[in-house]
Amino acid sequence: MLLTAILFWLAGAANFQPVGLLRDLNVDAFTTLQHPLFPTHSVRIKRSEFCDNTVRAYTGYIDFNARHLFFYFFESRNEPDKDDVIFWTNGGPGCSSATGLFMELGPCRVTNATKGPEFFHYSWNSNANIFFIDQPVNVGFSYAEYDMHVDNTPNAAKDIAAFVAIFFEHFASFKGRAFHMASESYGGRYIPLFASALYDQNALLVANGLTPINLTSAMIGNGLTDFQNMLLSYYDVLCSPASVAPSFDINECVRMRRVLPRCKTWTKEVCVDQYDARDCGAAMQFCLAELYQPYFIKGRNPYDITLDCEDDNGLCYPVINNITEYLNRLDVRATLGVDPAVGTFAACSHSVESAFAQAGDIMQDSIAYVAALLERGVAVLVYVGAHDWLCNWVGNERFTLDMEWSGQSEFGQQPLRVWTFEGQVAGKTRSARGLTFATIDGAGHMAPYDRPRESLALIRRWLAGVEI
């Protein structure tokens, strides 16, 4: 430990000067944040007056050599100097967190590109400070030089962990504050690894006499944490009244049911027990064709089984087109400080998604990381909109029940019970030993968009440590 401390001092700790207060940042120019423990990483950040005039907002870039990640940060509407901090990233892989910010849980919504942001009363910054980050590079306003790219979650996790350490070290008022990492969809893969990287990195901070990040919880909304259970659950959602009345006819359901045993055994052998890229790819190609692709042929919304897909952009929600148009306005990009190197904004990057798929990241589960976080006292919330098909509640509940950890038996013995909001049933929940599973009735894949009041109520209870 002494040697580590000496190296830290030699790296520049003796001359390290934290910025101090967020409110001292300039609105017209970036301030650069550096850290002697992370010499290849830096952060440029500025005040950005937009979206929510009741709080201070900030934007900037996390720079890692030739890779640059864009972020937004909003102070809490309640007590910014005391409230918890939430990290949010959207999934994909390859989708911008502008969707989370301007459509789901951020302090404003964009329903008209010309009119711009409108104040949103049910934002998660009602009681928390919150980040929205476009990651990995080449997503949203993030970019890379020299054709640099990131095609897997473990590498993405290292950059995120470094950023959090740099930010907290520069703004002392956040030190020791409860920190929660949250995401949805492919965030079921991201967040367990991001949170684990942050937890392990704390040992480096402590060894150098620095304050560790108070990683309090991981929150996964409609997540793809266990791809095998999710794949098999498509049958349940389409052919049983798990969410709504069965939507596939009997012949289709019988065909799907017959391939379930084969897909369960095959994917377990070559994707889960011992991962083999070629054989797992073959298994997934067959099982996706049998259990996944038939749904899309019908033109239904994969994010809400009760709806049709409303446009042809593959995302089904026209409001995303409005957000995209708004963020491509030159005046908006100037306000946010978007780097001139960034081209046209897109809600999702197909090239990033393809890179993750080719690297095999999409066929990796993150169950062991969730279990490891729980064993170390980091609480985990798995919440799911009950109408989602893509990352549905059946597959998510199965993963929480099947996961091997010291609390597995106790968690499994808890019956599903209803939770309520304003006297009405809002969903079902199960909780034990730091793990909570909760459904949100009437919500789809993007639960905060469909049921904003109930979603905020759930998050408020979680942050306050109140039983859901």
Residues forming the active site: 185, 388, 445
Q: Please give the span between the terminal C-alpha atoms of the chain, in angstroms, as a whole number.
A: 42
Q: How far apart are CA 277 and CA 280, in angstroms?
A: 5
86, 132 in Cβ contact below 8 A? Answer: no
Structure tokens belonging to residue 257:
């049911």
> Coil, helix or strand for 120?
coil
Q: How far apart are CA 101 and CA 2, in angstroms?
A: 44
119, 324 in Cβ contact below 8 A? Answer: no
**CA 34 from centre of chain:** 25
Q: How far apart are CA 379 and CA 244, in angstroms?
A: 31
User: What one-character-per-residue DSSP string does 284-307 give?
Assistant: HHHHHHHHTHHHHHTTB-TT-TTS
Closest CA to 451 of 440, 439, 437, 462: 440
DSSP state of 272: I
Say what the alpha-carbon torsion angle 124, 129, 134, 136 is, to the nearest 10 degrees.
-110
